[in-house]
Structure 1
Amino acid sequence: MKLLVKSPYFGRIDFREQGREHTEPIYLGIASFLDDDQETFLVYDWRAPVSSLYYDGAPGPAAYQTPEGEMFGTMELKRQFVIKEGKIDVMFDTGVTIGDELLQQVLSHSADNQMKSIVATIQREQNAVIRNDKSRMLVVQGAAGSGKTSAALQRVAYLLYKYRATLKADQVLLFSPNPLFNSYVSSVLPELGEENMMQTTFQAYLAHQLGKEFELEDVFAQMESILNAEEGPWLNVKKASIFFKSSPAFLQIISKYTSLLEKKDMMFREIRFQGRLIISAETMKKKFYEYDPGIKLVNRIDLMKQWMLKELMTFAHAERSAAWVDDQIELLSQEEYQRAYTKIRRKQMGTKDSFDDHELERNLLAKMIVNEWLKPVRKWIKRLRYVDVKGLYRELFRNKELMLTLNSGGDLPEMWDQIAEQTLLELKDKKLSYEDSTPYLYLQELLKGFQTNTLIRHVFIDEVQDYSPFQLEYLKRLFPRARMTALGDLNQGIYAHTDVLGGSLESLKELYGAGETEVISLTKSYRSTYEIVDFTRSMMPGGENIVAFDRQGDLPQVIMESNLEQLHGDIIKDIQQLHEQGYEHTAIICKTDEESKRVYEALKETLPLKLITKTTPSYIRGTLVIPSYLAKGVEFDAVLIYNGSESSYSRESERKLFYTVCTRAMHLLHIYSLGQPSRFITDIHSDKYTKISK
Structure 2
Amino acid sequence: MDVQSAYHEESTRLKETLEEVRQQLAGIGPRYYGNDFVEQLLDAKREESRERLQLLEIEPYFGRLDFHEKGKDGAAPLYIGKRGMEKKETGQPYIIDWRAPVASLFYSFTGGDEPVEYEAPEGIVGGEIHLKRNLSIREQVLQRVVDSYVRGGDNLGLSDEFLLYRLGEKKDNRLRDIVSTIQAEQDQIIRAPRARALIIQGAAGSGKTTVALHRLAFLLYQYQDQVRADRMIIFAPNTMFLDYISGVLPELGVGNVRQTTFTDWALELLGDEVRLAEDDQEGKRWFSLEAARPEEGEWTSGRYKGSMVFKELLAGWLREYEQFYLPELDFEPWEGGHLPYRTLREWFEVEYRPYPLAARRDRLVARLNRWLEMELGKIADPKKRKERSKTGKQRLRTFLKKLPEVTALQLYRRFFGVEASPVAAAEGIPQTIAEQTKAGLKKGVVRQEDLAALCWIHRQIHAAEGRMLDHIVVDEAQDISPLQVELYKSFMNEPSFTILGDLAQGIHAYRGIHRWEELSELFKPEQTSYHELKQSYRSTLEIIEFANTILPYTDTGLPAAQPVFRSGEPVEVVRCAGTDERDQRVRSYIEEQVAGGMRTVAVICRTDEECRSVHGMLEREGVEVSLILEGQQAYKGGVSVVPVYMAKGLEFDAVLLPDVDEGRYTASPADAKLLYVGCTRALHRLTLLHIGEASPLLG
Normalising by structure 2, report the TM-score.
0.78
Aligned sequence identity (%): 31
The aligned counterpart of 1:304 is 361
The residue correspondences of 1:29-68 to structure 2 (distance < 5 A) are 29-57=81-109, 58-60=111-113, 61-68=115-122
Q: Aligned partners of 1:50 and 1:380: how far apart in 2?
A: 65
Q: Aligned partners of 1:185 and 1:195: how far apart in 2?
A: 13
CA contact (8 A) 1:33 1:44 kept: yes
Q: Secondary structure at the residue paired with 2:103?
A: helix
Single out whichever of 483-492 and 418-427 deviates more from structure 2.
418-427
Which residue identity lines up with residue 554 of structure 1 in the other structure? E
Q: Secondary structure at the residue paired with 1:560?
A: strand
- Cα pair distance change 1:558/1:162, threshold 3 Å: same
Q: Aligned partners of 1:387 and 1:647: how far apart in 2?
A: 42
The aligned counterpart of 1:394 is 416
Which residue identity lines up with residue 205 of structure 1 in the other structure? W
Deviations 1:49-75 (A, max 9, x none): 111111112353111111000001111
Question: Which residue, out of 100, 105, 108, partners 2:160?
Answer: 100
1:124: Cα distance to partner?
0.2
- Cα pair distance change 1:380/1:567, threshold 3 Å: farther
- Cα pair distance change 1:26/1:162, threshold 3 Å: same
Which residue identity lines up with residue 592 of structure 1 in the other structure? T
Would you say 1:425 and 2:439 are equivalent positions?
Answer: yes
1:185: Cα distance to partner?
1.3
The aligned counterpart of 2:38 is none
The aligned counterpart of 1:274 is none
1:481: Cα distance to partner?
4.6
CA contact (8 A) 1:452 1:478 kept: no
CA contact (8 A) 2:134 2:147 kept: yes
Question: Which residue, out of 128, 132, 138, partners 1:84?
Answer: 138
The aligned counterpart of 1:147 is 207
1:131: Cα distance to partner?
0.9
1:132: Cα distance to partner?
1.0
Single out whichever of 41-50 and 301-310 deviates more from structure 2.
301-310
CA contact (8 A) 1:537 1:543 kept: no
Q: Secondary structure at the residue paired with 1:427?
A: helix
1:168: Cα distance to partner?
2.8
The residue correspondences of 1:546-561 to structure 2 (distance < 5 A) are 546-561=561-576
The aligned counterpart of 2:541 is 530
Would you say 1:636 and 2:652 are equivalent positions?
Answer: yes
The residue correspondences of 1:557-576 to structure 2 (distance < 5 A) are 557-576=572-591
1:581: Cα distance to partner?
0.7
Q: Secondary structure at the residue paired with 1:680?
A: helix
Would you say 1:486 and 2:499 are equivalent positions?
Answer: yes
Single out whichever of 666-675 and 187-196 deviates more from structure 2.
187-196
Q: Aligned partners of 1:134 and 1:191: how far apart in 2?
A: 22
Q: Secondary structure at the residue paired with 2:604?
A: strand
The aligned counterpart of 1:669 is 686
Deviations 1:562-598 (A, max 9, x none): 3333322211111011111111201111223333223
Would you say 1:508 and 2:530 are equivalent positions?
Answer: no
1:397: Cα distance to partner?
12
Which residue identity lines up with residue 109 of structure 1 in the other structure? E
The aligned counterpart of 1:213 is 273
Q: Secondary structure at the residue paired with 2:128?
A: strand
Q: Secondary structure at the residue paired with 2:173?
A: coil
CA contact (8 A) 2:286 2:292 kept: no
Question: Which residue, out of 246, 252, 255, partners 1:195?
Answer: 255
Single out whichever of 293-302 and 570-579 deviates more from structure 2.
293-302
1:208: Cα distance to partner?
2.0
Question: Which residue, out of 285, 304, 307, partners 1:247?
Answer: 307
Q: Secondary structure at the residue paired with 2:611?
A: helix
The aligned counterpart of 1:3 is 55
Single out whichever of 54-63 and 474-483 deviates more from structure 2.
474-483
Single out whichever of 200-209 and 291-300 deviates more from structure 2.
291-300
Single out whichever of 95-104 and 164-173 deviates more from structure 2.
95-104
Question: Which residue, out of 563, 576, 580, partners 2:595?
Answer: 580
The aligned counterpart of 1:73 is 127
- Cα pair distance change 1:568/1:380, threshold 3 Å: farther
Which residue identity lines up with residue 576 of structure 1 in the other structure? E
Gaps of 5+ in 1: 269-282, 317-359, 684-694
Question: Which residue, out of 474, 492, 497, partners 1:461?
Answer: 474
1:538: Cα distance to partner?
1.6
The aligned counterpart of 2:33 is none
- Cα pair distance change 1:442/1:7, threshold 3 Å: closer
The residue correspondences of 1:28-427 to structure 2 (distance < 5 A) are 28-57=80-109, 58-60=111-113, 61-95=115-149, 99-210=159-270, 212-217=272-277, 222-228=282-288, 230-231=290-291, 240-264=300-324, 266=325, 296=353, 299=356, 301-308=358-365, 384-385=406-407, 388-395=410-417, 416-427=430-441
- Cα pair distance change 1:670/1:121, threshold 3 Å: same
1:172: Cα distance to partner?
1.4
Q: Which has the higher contact order (CA 8 A, sep 6+)?
A: 1
Q: Secondary structure at the residue paired with 1:174?
A: strand
- Cα pair distance change 1:301/1:16, threshold 3 Å: closer
The aligned counterpart of 2:664 is 648
Q: Secondary structure at the residue paired with 1:423?
A: helix
Q: Aligned partners of 2:299 and 2:664: how far apart in 1?
A: 19
RMSD: 3.9
- Cα pair distance change 1:98/1:463, threshold 3 Å: farther
Q: Aligned partners of 2:298 and 2:441: how far apart in 1?
A: 15
Which residue identity lines up with residue 65 of structure 1 in the other structure? E
CA contact (8 A) 2:625 2:639 kept: yes
1:458: Cα distance to partner?
0.9
Q: Aligned partners of 1:231 and 1:169: how far apart in 2?
A: 42
Q: Aligned partners of 2:468 and 2:231: how far apart in 1?
A: 6
1:623: Cα distance to partner?
0.5
1:137: Cα distance to partner?
0.8
Would you say 1:518 and 2:570 are equivalent positions?
Answer: no
Q: Aligned partners of 2:521 and 2:296: how far apart in 1?
A: 29
CA contact (8 A) 1:398 1:424 kept: no
1:421: Cα distance to partner?
1.9
CA contact (8 A) 2:304 2:310 kept: yes
Which residue identity lines up with residue 541 of structure 2 in the other structure? Y
- Cα pair distance change 1:479/1:261, threshold 3 Å: same
CA contact (8 A) 1:157 1:189 kept: yes
Q: Secondary structure at the residue paired with 1:441?
A: helix
1:452: Cα distance to partner?
5.0
The aligned counterpart of 1:26 is 78
The aligned counterpart of 1:687 is none
Q: Aligned partners of 1:220 and 1:101: how far apart in 2?
A: 47
Question: Which residue, out of 588, 594, 600, partners 2:615?
Answer: 600
CA contact (8 A) 2:132 2:147 kept: yes
CA contact (8 A) 2:482 2:518 kept: no
Q: Secondary structure at the residue paired with 1:90?
A: strand
Q: Secondary structure at the residue paired with 1:624?
A: strand
- Cα pair distance change 1:289/1:653, threshold 3 Å: farther
- Cα pair distance change 1:378/1:33, threshold 3 Å: farther
CA contact (8 A) 1:103 1:121 kept: yes
- Cα pair distance change 1:133/1:310, threshold 3 Å: closer
Deviations 1:599-639 (A, max 9, x none): 22222132101112233221102101112222111110011
- Cα pair distance change 1:110/1:378, threshold 3 Å: farther
Q: Aligned partners of 1:478 and 1:217: how far apart in 2?
A: 27
Gaps of 5+ in 2: 1-52, 150-154, 328-338, 374-382
Q: Secondary structure at the residue paired with 2:272?
A: coil
CA contact (8 A) 1:216 1:433 kept: yes
Deviations 1:412-445 (A, max 9, x none): 6xxx332222222111112212222222332343
Q: Aligned partners of 1:303 and 1:455: how far apart in 2?
A: 22
Alignment coverage as a number of residue pairs:
605
